[in-house]
Structure 1
Amino acid sequence: SKVDFIQENAPEKIEIKTSLLAEIDAATRPDIVIASSSSGLPSSKFIGKCTNNPGRILIGHPFNPPHLMPLVEIVPNQKTEKSSVETAVQFYKSLNKRPVVLHQEVPGFAANRLQAALCSEAYSLVSRGIISAEDLDACVTNSLGPRWALTGPLLANAMGGGGGTDGFRHLLEHLGPATEVWLKDMQDHAFEFNKESLDALSTSVGEELKGKDVQSLEAERDRLLVEILKLKNS
């Protein structure tokens, strides 16, 4: 084989990935890194039939829309060799991507778990009638989104506490008791994927979408994403 790096993009189904990865593993040189684009399934779930060199297999998960978003999550499994991780990091950097390395497997990896946590609370608030879908989205696009796009949540908290490690710890100690109350309430009212909740949530999202063309929204999103990324890299 003349390839130097393999990016597998099969559907998110264990049986399909298991079969495909085994074929790729058998047909390629054992030194070639094989990265799976799985968005939530750890690679240990589908490398069981790879006997050539399972140490070169890892997750290389791009974030949507992948042609614009810089992030790629690299997630090794217990058999992945350190050199394979290093090769993947350098490969994605050469494409002007921003690779991040997880040190152990967790379902959903990092970015999707963060997204799931925020979306779960958003679904709960909207489905319970506490806020409309339109105003919920405005909460993100007019506060958390722009701020976190520049710093991320942890650095933002450090800055909010006065800066540095001491500032970060100070903010957590100051807001900890209140946050625990919020988290307890969130757990008590966690979104449930039942018909009643889904109906309420879908109705509110439908109201937000009234009169809007999804293709136009996607085009505008992509245009603005390019501008934001240009500013960040300038």
Structure 2
Amino acid sequence: MSARPAPGDVRTVVCIGAGVIGGGWVAYFLARGYRVVAWDPAPDGEQRLRHLVTAAWPALTDLGLAEGASIDNLTFEPDLAAACAQADFVQESAPEDLELKRTLLADIDAATPEGVVISSSTSGYGMSEMQGKCAHPERTVVGHPFNPPYLIPLVEVVGGTSTSIDVVEWTSEFFRLAGKSVITMEHEVPGFIANRLQEALWREALHMVAAGEATVEQIDLSITDGPGLRWPVFGPMLTFHLAGGQGGMAHMLDHFGPSLLSPWTRLEAAELTPELRDAVVDGCDREAGGRSIDDLVAERDRGVVAILRALGRA
């Protein structure tokens, strides 16, 4: 008999892996009023996690905390099995190493109560690749967030070949009830949806830096003060629909379609030479202008909160 709670009855979320993504999940679930049990194998894992949650809390407080939400609802459990045994839902956020994830998911599966859903934050691997060692692969599913998970609403949910359809549906509903914006994908796609779009932009940016066509600062400014201002309102498809004027997307495609054949972009990966690496790193240091990572995180969070509020999404 399944011990899986209804999506709205989840009370304890277990977060496996407490780095940037896993820690962001911890902060988010705490802010939504859940009890969170976290596990991470790093010797300083608890210290880093609590630093991240403390840094995220002002933005989450500004957005509005759920009833009963508190940092005090966080428990750091050094034993993986003991952590998983308490789960109503598991969110795994280990590093992007396929064999590591395959083994870790199997260990999580072995220690988690029957029927409880196990979700992975993987940003590139399909669940079909990762669930092979699990005794109960039918309850494993991808719940791919965006950084920082405690502020960016989107989660992409997709199962693997052995995942039960009801698990995909359950996970999508759980994330919706937890306040997330959910894309439920019908098919596994390498890199999912949003990452594939980000990757195209990222590759072209690296090519431009490598070729001396643009600096790091110019690339960032071209987005923050250009198309990036439109994207929080409408995505790229509806933005181009408007670019067609009263004729909409039909006019856009008929008029500008031939330009798709122009050799403007290079979607193949740029060679990450030492020179390109140094140019990108140095450019980011210049653009940061002495601001620490913590300073930049706080600035980013204030900006995202303001955008969410301005759009009526918070």
How high is the TM-score relative to the length of structure 2? 0.67
- Asked if residue 43 in structure 1 is aligned to residue 127 in structure 2, the reply is yes
- Asked if residue 71 in structure 1 is aligned to residue 154 in structure 2, the reply is yes
1:226 Cα deviation after fit: 1.0
**Which residue is equivalent to 1:212?**
291
For residues 198 and 2 of structure 1, the distance between their equivalents in structure 2, rounded to whole angstroms, comes to 43
Query: What is the DSSP-based 3-state SS (H/G/I as helix, E as strand, rest coil) of the residue aligned with 1:151?
Result: coil
RCO greater where, 1 or 2, for CA within 8 Å and sep 6 or more? 2
The correspondence of residues 54-203 of structure 1 with structure 2, limited to 5 A, is 54-162=137-245, 167-181=248-262, 184-187=263-266, 191-203=270-282
Q: Does the 8 A contact of 1:128 with 1:200 survive in 2?
A: no
For residues 211 and 50 of structure 1, the distance between their equivalents in structure 2, rounded to whole angstroms, comes to 46
Query: What is the DSSP-based 3-state SS (H/G/I as helix, E as strand, rest coil) of the residue aligned with 2:183?
Result: strand
Q: Does the 8 A contact of 2:203 with 2:267 survive in 1?
A: no
1:225 Cα deviation after fit: 0.7
Deviates more, 1:217-226 or 1:192-201: 192-201
1:136 Cα deviation after fit: 1.4
Structure 1 gaps of 5+ residues are: none
**Which residue is equivalent to 1:10?**
94
For residues 55 and 189 of structure 1, the distance between their equivalents in structure 2, rounded to whole angstroms, comes to 35
**Which residue is equivalent to 1:32?**
116
Q: Does the 8 A contact of 1:60 with 1:74 survive in 2?
A: yes
For residues 102 and 72 of structure 1, the distance between their equivalents in structure 2, rounded to whole angstroms, comes to 10
For residues 188 and 50 of structure 1, the distance between their equivalents in structure 2, rounded to whole angstroms, comes to 36
1:151 Cα deviation after fit: 0.7
Amino acid at match of 2:254: E
Give me the identity figure in percent: 42
Q: CA RMSD in A?
A: 2.2
How high is the TM-score relative to the length of structure 1? 0.88
For residues 267 and 300 of structure 2, the distance between their equivalents in structure 1, rounded to whole angstroms, comes to 34
1:190 Cα deviation after fit: 5.5
Q: Does the 8 A contact of 1:74 with 1:101 survive in 2?
A: yes
Deviations 1:107-157 (A, max 9, x none): 221122111111111111122221222121111001111101111111111
Amino acid at match of 2:118: I
Structure (1 or 2) with the greater helix fraction: 1
Q: Does the 8 A contact of 1:60 with 1:75 survive in 2?
A: yes
For residues 227 and 144 of structure 1, the distance between their equivalents in structure 2, rounded to whole angstroms, comes to 18
For residues 9 and 170 of structure 1, the distance between their equivalents in structure 2, rounded to whole angstroms, comes to 44
1:83 Cα deviation after fit: 1.0
1:35 Cα deviation after fit: 0.7
Deviations 1:72-103 (A, max 9, x none): 11121122222111101110011111111222
Amino acid at match of 2:280: L
Structure 2 gaps of 5+ residues are: 1-84
